Amino acid sequence: MSFIWAIVTGIALSFLLKSGWGFLLGLFIGPMLYRAFNNIAPMRTNQPSPTLFLTVAFEVLGHLSKAKGQVTQDDINIASQFMDRLQLDSEKRKLAQDSFNRGKSANYPLQERLNELYTQYRYRKKVLNIFCEQLIQAAISDGTLHQKEEQILYSVAQAFHIPRAQMAMYIQMMMASYQFQRGQQYQQYNQNRQQGGYHQGSYQRQSAQSDIDNAYRILGVDPNADNTTIKRAYRKLMNEHHPDKLVSKGLPKEMLEAAKKRAQEIQAAYDLIKAHKGFK
């Protein structure tokens, strides 16, 4: 078939350029166009399974919990809180619970399931990135990332053809997001106490500086970055987490609420940096 594309493209270019060189050029370009078309066509025609993303996400979450050793009640609570955050109905919740239990099994085929998900979403990179972010977020819900959990996360990156350095950056960003949330909660708690006459100025200043440091890490930028770089990083992240664009890329609606909350965290981090640096 690529040969036919080469001939047709060669004839077309020789006619347009009115030269025999156009035909030779077409012989070279035609196969490239054929491969590009074949890469784009599956993205337009093949729709991912509506439950595969959710199923594999909770399977891998169960696998992460088991990797630490014994699955504890805290691990189960974290999975349950993740289901709450996704606002799963009773049917999807049962599917998530079964998937979590399946992922705990000793013979869980991690690579096989990751490859299956990658095949479905290989032309939807943003969706795979969201999968990684939400998996990391669930893994660090206890405030730590165990070595075996980290190894599994890098296995996910490898299966999705995500560079190791990029996965490391995702982990850093999500850890910063976790700490940023806790800092914001503390500030709200401290403000309430101050209204009652209690003051803790020094610790509050340290907490505020920690929030600013985490805000930079959430955006993936250096604190010394100029305003243009910061704005560019913010816009890129917001574009990647835009609900309408994620839905069009095949993100299941159950995962959309978590993506929205992630976008809110990015916005809050950016607003804090703007206030700190004094730009609009």
Tally the domains of the chain: 3
For 85, list phi and psi in degrees, rounded to 5: -65, -30
Q: In terms of pLDDT, which residue wins out, 173 or 23? A: 173
Residue 156 lies in a domain: yes
> What is the Cα–Cα distance from 36 to 63, expressed in whole angstroms?
37
* 186 lies in the same domain as 255: yes
Q: How confident is the model at residue 23 (pLDDT cuts 50, 70, 90)?
A: low
Residue 90 lies in a domain: yes
pLDDT tens for each residue of 32-77: 655 655 555 444 445 667 689 999 999 999 999 998 888 888 889 9
Residue 165 lies in a domain: no
* 41 lies in the same domain as 62: no
- Amino acid 182: pLDDT: 78
* 244 lies in the same domain as 149: no
Residue 99 lies in a domain: yes
pLDDT tens for each residue of 96-145: 999 999 999 989 999 999 999 999 999 888 889 999 998 998 888 888 88
Q: Which of 160, 188, 222 is at the close of a domain?
A: 160
Whether the pLDDT of residue 215 is over 80: the answer is: yes
Q: Are 144 and 78 in contact (CB under 8 A)?
A: no
Q: Which residue is associated with the tokens 């800092």?
A: 183
> What is the Cα–Cα distance from 208 to 223, expressed in whole angstroms?
15
Residues 6+ apart with CB under 8 A from 54: 92, 95, 96, 99, 252, 254, 255
- Amino acid 189: pLDDT: 44
Residue 261 lies in a domain: yes
Alpha-helical segments (H) within the chain: 2-17, 20-45, 52-67, 73-86, 90-104, 110-121, 125-139, 147-159, 164-195, 201-219, 227-240, 243-248, 253-277
* 226 lies in the same domain as 253: yes
Residues 6+ apart with CB under 8 A from 248: none
> What is the Cα–Cα distance from 24 to 44, expressed in whole angstroms?
31
Residue 198 lies in a domain: yes
- Amino acid 202: pLDDT: 47
* 115 lies in the same domain as 98: yes
> What is the Cα–Cα distance from 262 to 161, expressed in whole angstroms?
23
* 120 lies in the same domain as 147: yes
Q: Are 246 and 256 in contact (CB under 8 A)?
A: yes
Whether the pLDDT of residue 26 is over 70: the answer is: no
CA 100 distance to own-chain centroid:
20
* 153 lies in the same domain as 183: no
- Amino acid 203: pLDDT: 41
* 116 lies in the same domain as 146: yes
Q: Which of 109, 128, 160 is at the close of a domain?
A: 160
- Amino acid 219: pLDDT: 94
> What is the Cα–Cα distance from 111 to 157, expressed in whole angstroms?
11
Angle of the 201-219 helix axis to the 164-195 helix axis, nearest 10: 150
* 234 lies in the same domain as 269: yes
pLDDT tens for each residue of 167-212: 999 999 999 998 888 766 555 545 555 555 555 454 455 557 888 9
- Amino acid 37: pLDDT: 54
- Our CA angle for 149, 152, 156, nearest 5°, is 135
Q: Which of 136, 160, 184 is at the close of a domain?
A: 160
pLDDT tens for each residue of 244-278: 888 777 787 878 877 888 899 999 999 999 998 88
Q: Are 186 and 200 in contact (CB under 8 A)?
A: no
Residues 6+ apart with CB under 8 A from 175: 140, 145, 217
Instruction: Tell me which residue range forms the domain holding 150.
Output: 52-160
C-alpha distance from residue 238 to each of 8, 35, 225, 253, 265 (Å): 42, 31, 18, 18, 10
Return the closest-CA partner of residue 253 out of 60, 128, 92: 92
* 39 lies in the same domain as 92: no
Residue 247 lies in a domain: yes
Pick from 6-15, 129-138, 157-166 the range whose average pLDDT is largest: 157-166
Q: Are 8 and 15 in contact (CB under 8 A)?
A: no
Residue 194 lies in a domain: yes
pLDDT tens for each residue of 144-157: 888 999 999 999 99
* 37 lies in the same domain as 62: no
* 133 lies in the same domain as 101: yes
